Amino acid sequence: MKIHFPKREVSFVSARGTRLNAQPRNAGFPSALHSQRGLTLIECLVYISVLFVVLGVAYKASDQFVGNSLDLRRNAADIVHALQAGERWRADVRAATGPLRLEVFEGDEVLEIPQTAGTVLYQFARGNVWRAQSKQERWILLLSKVKNSRIQFDQGQKVRSVRWEVELKSRHEPAKVRPLFSFQSIPAIQASR
């Protein structure tokens, strides 16, 4: 058996004399006999744990994205430095006024390029490529983080060219792609023949 209580309308008179109607006390809300549902402690803990899992996955993805972005920036900088060094080397070889000489002592290669202003020297030592304007000048670091450097003279049918192969050190082992560059040039004294 249900007991129904009559709804009463309450009205007030304002100071100006107008009549104001007030809604019954539980209008728009479930009746007092129905139970109101709330969140239990276990449901709150489940929601919080799901939130932590989602935030953890998002943090891991963003951290990996930032790491890959920094690796890409470093690789791009290494490629730019290698290309600039290669173009500098090619310009020096093209400006040669005499035959190039390659000397190897104690595992270090030294390439001598005679030019009108003196002899330009390139040396691969201790993982770096160095350049000097002459034998009396100081050595300037041209390229760092070099794993291998090799200079070869290639004899063609009419022209003898010079090839420089440079392999940079990889940041990750095993490397997905070997950072290997090959530059080739012909001295100007042979190109004019």
| Cα 164 to Cα 119: distance, rounded to the nearest angstrom | 18
Could you report the per-residue pLDDT of 119-158, keeping only the tens digit for each?
A: 999 999 888 999 998 878 889 999 998 988 888 888 776 7
Confidence grade of residue 89 (pLDDT, cut at 50, 70, 90): very high
pLDDT at 14 over 90: no
pTM: 0.66
Q: Residue 187: pLDDT above 80?
A: yes
Q: Is 100 helix (H, G, I), strand (E, B) or coil?
A: coil
Six-digit token pair at 16? 């100006």
Q: Where are the domains of the chain?
A: 72-191
Using one digit for the tens of pLDDT, what is the confidence trace for 92-117? 999 998 888 888 877 788 899 998 88
Q: How far apart are CA 122 and CA 141, in angstroms?
A: 10
* pLDDT over 80 (residue 68): yes
Q: Please, how many CA atoms are within 13 Å of residue 25, restricted to the half-sphere of its CB?
A: 6
What's the pLDDT score for residue 169?
A: 87
Across the range 9-23, mean pLDDT stands at 60
Q: Is 125 exposed, middle or buried (0-12, 13-18, 19+ CB in 10 A)?
A: middle
- Residue 84 φ then ψ, to 5°: -65, -40
Q: What pLDDT, in 10s, does the model give residues 161-184?
A: 889 999 988 877 776 777 889 999
